[in-house]
């Protein structure tokens, strides 16, 4: 059986680190208030003129270096982002050019915070169908560009960054002991689009707009849907939550992460948490956390790893893989 195996990971964070205290100068908020409600202590913001593609290229180069692969050996680039450089072309094509790739194809995926999970599932399908042998899957965001700086309930939560993985075709025995992606599970429900959205858009207003979120509603949906998609993706792979070695969740909010782990019966020792240092980097958060987990030596070859995320749409899903 063909499997899609992660051969390299990498990430990039902009130089500017923004502590919670920065918001105290213009908002009725405090470090204690932000930490108690989100677990976030700091985040990174892109510099003026620094684009989503710039972050993505840096993360992709790190993933390629980790895999020992040259850019021209890659068949496809998928960038998950809600903050593209331009309306078109796809940010992935800008990344392709920035990496010096002269072959292959590139496209974007837009599923907000679930974007990387969607992109990973698409890359897996490309590899299994024979369309590609190696795929760079990148999550990259500059959410600081769509914040309403007068809304303390949202602007303190998000940050900028990028993470990348290189997927490569491999063969396995067809069991859940194989390395690589074992199962994927994707969902969306557009009835809930208004509880997490951006106010602008090309067709609707010809403006960029600002992020708007009904936090309590998002929280309620997030815990239930993340726990269910994790259970479902494991069932597809013939596994149970008790067999998970690591969960690498979307880093939105420590309370969502903790409650979801509790619902699955998982100790927090099995959960990779980076939200305190990065904030919510949307589609970048899972690959960023994967790369950080490798640096921390939290992932070992053969580990059963589950990634799960939910974002605007609502869109959510999970991927089960053997590291």
Would you please indicate which residues are annotated as catalytic (active-site) residues?
A: 113, 250, 280
Helix residue ranges per DSSP H, the chain: 31-38, 52-67, 91-98, 115-129, 215-237, 254-264, 275-278, 285-295
Rounded alpha-carbon distances, angstroms, from residue 57 to 54, 88, 119, 177: 5, 18, 17, 33
Q: N- to C-terminal Cα distance for the chain?
A: 17
The neighbour count for residue 317, using CB atoms within 10 Å, is 27
Say how far apart CA 44 and CA 19 lie, in whole Å: 9
Q: Which residues contact 57 (CB under 8 A, 6 or more apart)?
A: 95, 98, 99
Rounded alpha-carbon distances, angstroms, from residue 20 to 35, 40, 213, 301: 8, 8, 20, 36
Q: Is the dihedral of CA 115, 84, 91, 141 positive or negative?
A: negative
Closest to 270 (Cα-Cα) out of 287, 249, 239: 249
Match 């899972």 to its residue by tokens.
Answer: 286
Match 């993985």 to its residue by tokens.
Answer: 165
Chain centre to alpha carbon of residue 53: 15
Q: Are 233 and 264 in contact (CB under 8 A)?
A: no
Say how far apart CA 1 and CA 133 lie, in whole Å: 14
Say how far apart CA 255 and CA 90 lie, in whole Å: 34
């Amino acid at each position: 059986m063909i499997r899609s195996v992660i051969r390299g990971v990498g990430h990039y964070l902009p130089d500017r680190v923004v502590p919670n205290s920065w918001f105290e100068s213009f908002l009725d908020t405090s470090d204690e208030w932000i930490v108690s409600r989100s677990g976030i202590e700091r985040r990174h913001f892109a510099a003026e003129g620094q684009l989503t593609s710039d972050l993505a290229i840096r993360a992709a180069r790190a993933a390629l270096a980790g895999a020992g692969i040259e850019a021209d050996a890659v068949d496809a680039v998928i960038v998950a982002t809600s903050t593209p450089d331009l309306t078109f072309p796809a940010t992935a094509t800008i990344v392709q050019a920035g990496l010096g790739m002269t072959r292959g194809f590139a496209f974007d995926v837009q599923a907000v915070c679930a974007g990387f999970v969607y992109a990973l599932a698409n890359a897996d399908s490309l590899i299994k169908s024979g369309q590609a042998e190696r795929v760079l899957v990148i999550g990259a965001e500059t959410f600081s560009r769509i914040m309403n700086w007068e809304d303390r309930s949202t602007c303190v939560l998000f940050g900028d960054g990028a993470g990348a993985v290189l997927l490569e075709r491999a063969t396995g025995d067809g069991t859940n002991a194989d390395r690589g992606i074992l199962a994927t599970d994707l969902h969306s429900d557009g009835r809930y689009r208004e509880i997490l959205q951006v106010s602008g858009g090309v067709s609707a207003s010809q403006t960029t707009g600002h992020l708007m979120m009904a936090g309590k509603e998002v929280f309620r949906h997030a815990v239930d849907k993340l726990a269910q998609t994790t259970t479902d993706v494991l069932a597809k792979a013939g596994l149970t939550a008790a067999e998970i070695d690591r969960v690498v969740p979307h880093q939105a909010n420590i309370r969502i992460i903790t409650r979801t782990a509790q619902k699955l019966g998982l100790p927090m020792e099995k959960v990779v948490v980076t939200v305190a240092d990065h904030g919510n980097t949307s589609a970048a958060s899972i690959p960023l956390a994967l790369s950080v987990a490798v640096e921390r030596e939290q992932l070992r070859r053969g580990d059963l790893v589950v990634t799960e995320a939910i974002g605007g749409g609502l869109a959510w899903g999970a991927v089960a893989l053997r590291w």
